[in-house]
């Protein structure tokens, strides 16, 4: 038995939607898994560090344990185009890829909800896991081991550009920078803007999006961890037709716009002023999520 699965990258938080909103985008992790009856072997591409391959194998084991399945010798082949530790959901992709591949391999009788619950348990929060598994723009939360999730409308005119630096930021470190407590006013700042961000994304309202794509729960605490973030963010604020946010835990900045060609040139100009190399990737929403090929 051999399976091949394709799993998308994802951009979480989307401004004010900390630990809740996420969007699947078209950068992919590919996993080929075969039960050979021999010893386990793992072939990984250069963009898959050992820890990522371990996370994938651990996720497969969690799925096998859940259904009490004992695989006989696995051969894994991993190809990955998702930048690692950049705020584009690479760890969720390895988790989702692992459990989906394992479920297919074992022909497990599990629902999408079962897979979602298991993947979110491994990751610890569901905001990347949900779009990665289900595709599209999603909102989710976990309670008592169950993920409650919904796909949301996204206007087709919006374009996405990921500004990706050449340095990493681990989610663990970026979560460690967050305070234990926030004020009531900061919480309500985010609640109102989350609702209006979703309305703007649904209706294609770029002006409302620019106003509402703001946050007081995580971005400010993480800025000191990202070299030249202030400088870049300030020049991005001057580009009229864009809205932007820190993708996941960072350091990638995601730009949303309806004016793609002019914007790309202006973004490049902003990046040219920085000392660290940052790249631009034009991305599209992935609407399918994890699929078997």
Least distance from C-beta 125 to ligand HSE, angstroms?
A: 6
* DSSP bridge pairs for 199: none
- Spatial distance between the Cα atoms of 144 and 123, rounded to a whole number of angstroms: 15
- Spatial distance between the Cα atoms of 198 and 119, rounded to a whole number of angstroms: 25
User: Is residue 249 part of the contact set for ligand HSE (CB under 6 A)?
Assistant: yes
Q: Give the burial class of 146: count Cβ atoms within 10 A of its Cβ; 0-12 exposed, 13-18 middle, 19 or more buried.
A: middle
Q: Which is nearer to ligand HSE, 136 or 248 (CB)?
A: 248
Annotate 206-250 with DSSP letters as a single string. Answer: HHHHHHH---SSSHHHHGGGSTTHHHHHHHHHT-TTEEEEE-TTS
Please compute, for residue 29, the number of CA atoms within 13 A of its CA located in the half-sphere on the CB side. Answer: 37
- Spatial distance between the Cα atoms of 199 and 181, rounded to a whole number of angstroms: 28
Interface residue with ligand HSE, options 13, 48, 90, 212 (CB under 6 A): 13
Interface residue with ligand HSE, options 6, 86, 125, 210 (CB under 6 A): 125
Strand, helix or coil for residue 142: strand
Least distance from C-beta 249 to ligand HSE, angstroms?
A: 4
How many residues bind to ligand HSE according to rule CB under 6 A? 13
Interface residue with ligand HSE, options 193, 210, 216, 218 (CB under 6 A): 218
User: Is residue 242 part of the contact set for ligand HSE (CB under 6 A)?
Assistant: no
Q: Which is nearer to ligand HSE, 76 or 147 (CB)?
A: 147
User: Is residue 121 part of the contact set for ligand HSE (CB under 6 A)?
Assistant: no
User: Is residue 193 part of the contact set for ligand HSE (CB under 6 A)?
Assistant: no
Give CA 4 to chain center in angstroms.
21
Interface residue with ligand HSE, options 97, 126, 248, 289 (CB under 6 A): 248
Are 73 and 38 in contact, with CB atoms under 8 Å apart? yes
The region of 120-128, 139-147, 206-214, 252-260 touching ligand HSE under the rule CB under 6 A is 120-128
Q: Which is nearer to ligand HSE, 193 or 218 (CB)?
A: 218
Residues near ligand HSE (CB under 6 A) are 12-13, 18-19, 125, 127-128, 171, 174-175, 218, 248-249
């Amino acid at each position: 038995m051999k399976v091949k699965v394709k799993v998308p990258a994802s951009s979480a938080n989307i401004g004010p939607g900390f630990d809740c909103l996420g969007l699947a985008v078209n950068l992919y992790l590919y996993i080929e898994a075969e039960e050979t009856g021999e010893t386990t072997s793992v072939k990984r591409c250069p963009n898959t560090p050992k820890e990522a391959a371990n996370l994938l194998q651990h996720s497969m084991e969690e799925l096998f344990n859940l259904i009490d399945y004992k695989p006989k010798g696995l051969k894994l082949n991993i190809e990955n185009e998702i930048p690692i530790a950049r705020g584009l959901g690479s760890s969720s992709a390895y988790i989702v890829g692992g459990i989906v591949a394992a479920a297919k391999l074992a022909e497990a009788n599990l629902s999408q909800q079962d897979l979602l619950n298991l993947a979110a348990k491994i990751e610890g929060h569901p905001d990347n896991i949900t779009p990665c598994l289900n595709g599209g723009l999603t909102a989710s939360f976990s309670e008592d081991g169950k993920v409650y999730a919904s796909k949301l409308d996204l206007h087709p005119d919006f374009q996405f550009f990921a500004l990706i630096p050449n340095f990493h930021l681990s989610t663990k470190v970026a979560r460690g920078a967050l305070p234990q407590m926030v004020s009531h006013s900061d919480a309500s700042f985010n609640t109102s803007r989350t609702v209006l961000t979703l309305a703007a994304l649904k209706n294609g309202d770029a002006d409302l999006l620019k106003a509402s794509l703001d946050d007081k729960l995580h971005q400010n605490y993480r800025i000191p961890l990202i070299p030249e973030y202030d400088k870049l963010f300030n020049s991005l604020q001057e580009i009229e037709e864009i809205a932007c946010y820190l993708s996941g835990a960072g350091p990638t900045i995601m730009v949303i716009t309806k004016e793609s060609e002019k914007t790309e040139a202006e973004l490049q100009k902003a990046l040219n002023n920085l000392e660290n190399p940052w790249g631009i990737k034009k991305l599209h929403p992935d609407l399918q999520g994890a699929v078997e090929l």
